[in-house]
Structure 1
């Protein structure tokens, strides 16, 4: 029987862009409440006032960045009065770097690479805002990286008190936090807290039904009809739920379709998904590891190394091993383990017996965890 094969110039994709991690979908489902709250915070800026400050909080892959960027796109289409600026704090995590990006947005080019002081950049930014009568809203995505670099107070203080040096300057800040252990208001000093006063908007993890619907929308937009069956979509959803990170599912769809296309088949099969998952599943691991503090990385490495040795790992045994490489009390240690469990890096469960013993199981291949920690 002749196989139904693709011709060399044919493709399974209607629009591959739909499966890019930074794609902003037209239909952004299950985040109406968060979008409305964010829009409310930004509304004063649309009228020439100062936007209200906001913390968007939630685990990686829960729609925080997409929500902000989608609203920023709407603002740019609607008005020239407010200038939205998105900053990735994993890349730009110093006061100078952040204000350089703001200057570039306002002027169209970066400040000179050498011989320019921070004050010169700051003054230029404020003069541009004053001259054009524009309001600024800055999104500090992954703002927890500013905490790790001890830059958060410097950045927020300069942004939020700019009006003291340049009266009439109106700046609002959105901070996006993926580290659920961070309480930003307890980390900033009193000078910042007095002007920051943010509203907290929580982005919960998507549940299985929501992930299934979102992935279904991407399939309808990005693949030709018949490429992915309902059964295969169910399998992709099941694999995505292991990390509860939507980005894993989106990448999995793309890689599985590419596998089928590479084999010149017109539909995705189970083997395509299984092979793709061996790559896609580490997206969540990589994103999560990047958000960890140094001491948390040391502890995760200890868990991974003990996991390589095989056998059951009790919480007490891991704590004893961790104390060999770091000074850590049991309370702080257990807080970190619970964080790893919430981030789906480990499973924390109880073994019944003489008393209840907490047991830790790594969710990923230990060698891969160690490799990610070494990056």
Structure 2
């Protein structure tokens, strides 16, 4: 190894390591022009003093739904004060109070009073200030399926979208973000009629699109020549095969950290291979940590009995937990949305459903 290939203790391969973190919003958002356009169109009425249009962003994991939304919200905040944008991750805030607390923080710039104010008082304060300030508001509910699983979805949507009849304020729009739109049919008629969103679908990225996006991250996040085009194409191919753009971004970051640990100025193939092994395990642990305890228990049963059909899995689950079929199906959906399992239906009498472990 040549001395010039060695990295000194105080040196780094990263020009800006934040480029490889989940919170990073690119300045030049690629391969999502039509989706960005739909989001912008839905917000224009809010900027003009009316209610933004309701949207549902859906598509496979890691296809740019959340990043596109935050990209547009950033542009709105930088260019107008007439429309307040609120982003809520329902994985972290999944109750009516926690969601309205997030809205309160954006409207007032501070958290709600810690004096135990009831939810109705928080709502009244929010809508009163919005009317007084003559501003519209759009609330993005990311991981919307969480509200279906805990049965708060109807209450939250109606409280927000019927505010004109309860608080005399009618300039609210909602953008839901979820993997599949199938759960929308579970809404009752009243909630469907007030929500009634337009759909915006985010398809999986092609391999050449993944390469473009990762190349852009490399340009902004690494110093020149940290990774070769050949190895970047390898990362792009592995990312495409895995179907998860976040994996490719994490793979670049992890590979660079391993190269730094080896005191090298460039990422080598062995660093990528080592990073892939560690990320595969870490990704599974992260997903399992996020699901509910009952879903975790169900996953364990599926892993131990992965050759059994759904009905037989349910019997074992019921015997262990005394949980009924409706909740069982909700937990199956939770595991599917988390990307831990997928369902296949066998042709023939009865159309048996079986589960495939994805990670």
TM over 0.5: yes
Quick one: distance in 2 between partners of 1:84 and 1:286? Answer: 32
- Provide Cα deviations, 1:266-317, integer angstroms capped at 9, x if missing partner: 10011211221123235654565578677765543223224xxxxxx6454x
**Matching of residue 219 in structure 1 with residue 218 in structure 2:** yes
Q: Do structure 1's residue 71 and structure 2's residue 72 form an aligned pair?
A: yes
The range that moved more, 207-216 or 293-302, is 293-302
- Is 2:287 aligned against 1:325? no
Q: Please state if 1:113 is matched with 2:114.
A: yes
CA contact (8 A) 2:163 2:170 kept: yes
What residue is the counterpart of 1:89 in the other structure? Answer: 90
Counterpart of 2:153 in structure 1 is 152
What are the ranges of 5 or more consecutive residues in structure 2 without an aligned counterpart? 347-351
Whole-Å separation in 2 of the counterparts to 1:139 and 1:8: 43
Q: In the alignment, is the contact (CA less than 8 A) between 1:144 and 1:291 conserved in 2?
A: no
Alignment of 1:54-203 (within 5 A): 54-178=55-179, 180=180, 182-184=182-184, 186-203=185-202
Q: Which residue of structure 2 lines up, in the alignment, with residue 38 of structure 1?
A: 39
Q: CA RMSD in A?
A: 3.0
1:18 corresponds to = 19
> Structure 1: which 5+ residue stretches go unaligned?
307-312, 351-356, 365-375
- Structure 1 residues 287, 213: CA separation in 2 closer, same or farther (over 3 Å shift)? farther
SS of the equivalent of 2:12 reads coil
Q: 1:294 to 1:14 in 2, by over 3 A?
A: same
Q: Alpha carbons of 1:106 and 1:346: their partners in 2 closer, same or farther (altered >3 Å)?
A: closer
In the alignment, the residues of structure 1 paired with residue 355 and residue 192 of structure 2 have an alpha-carbon distance, to the nearest angstrom, of 38
Shift of 1:235: 2.1
Residues matched between the structures, number? 345
Instruction: Label 1:209 to 1:345 Cα distance change in 2 as closer, same or farther (>3 A).
Output: farther
Q: Is the 8 A contact 1:21 1:251 kept in 2?
A: no
Q: 1:50 to 1:230 in 2, by over 3 A?
A: same
Asked whether the equivalents of residues 72 and 84 of structure 1 are also in contact (C-alpha less than 8 Å), the reply is: yes
Secondary structure class of the residue paired with 1:83 = strand
Q: Secondary structure at the match of 2:316?
A: coil
Q: 1:349 to 1:6 in 2, by over 3 A?
A: farther
3-state DSSP class of the match of 1:60? coil
Between 277-286 and 216-225, report the one with greater CA deviation: 277-286
Residues 54 and 173 in structure 2, CA contact (< 8 A), matched pair in contact too: yes
Deviations 1:240-263 (A, max 9, x none): 234311111111100100110111
Structure 1 distance, partners of 2:74, 2:206, is: 27
- What TM-score do the two structures reach when normalised by structure 1? 0.83
Q: Is the 8 A contact 1:61 1:245 kept in 2?
A: yes
Counterpart CA distance in 1 for 2:285 and 2:39 is: 28
Question: Aligned residue for 2:349?
Answer: none
The CA deviation at 1:112 is 1.9
Deviation at 1:87, TM superposition (A): 0.6
Distance 1:181 1:291, change over 3 A: farther
CA deviation string 1:58-83 (max 9, x = no partner): 12211111111111001111111100
CA contact 1:87–1:139 (8 Å) conserved in 2:
yes
CA shift digits 1:105-147 (9 cap, x unpaired): 1111111223201111001001110110000000011111111
Q: Relative to 1, partners in 2 of residues 1:342 and 1:112: Cα closer, same or farther, differing over 3 Å?
A: closer
SS of residue in 2 equivalent to 1:56: strand
Range that drifts further, 297-306 or 235-244: 297-306
Give the Cα–Cα distance (whole angstroms) in 2 for the partners of residues 203 and 288 of structure 1.
21
Q: Deviations over 1:317-366 (max 9, x none)?
A: x753553223899xx98x959x859947469699xxxxxx99866443xx
Corresponding residue number in structure 1 for 2:239 = 240
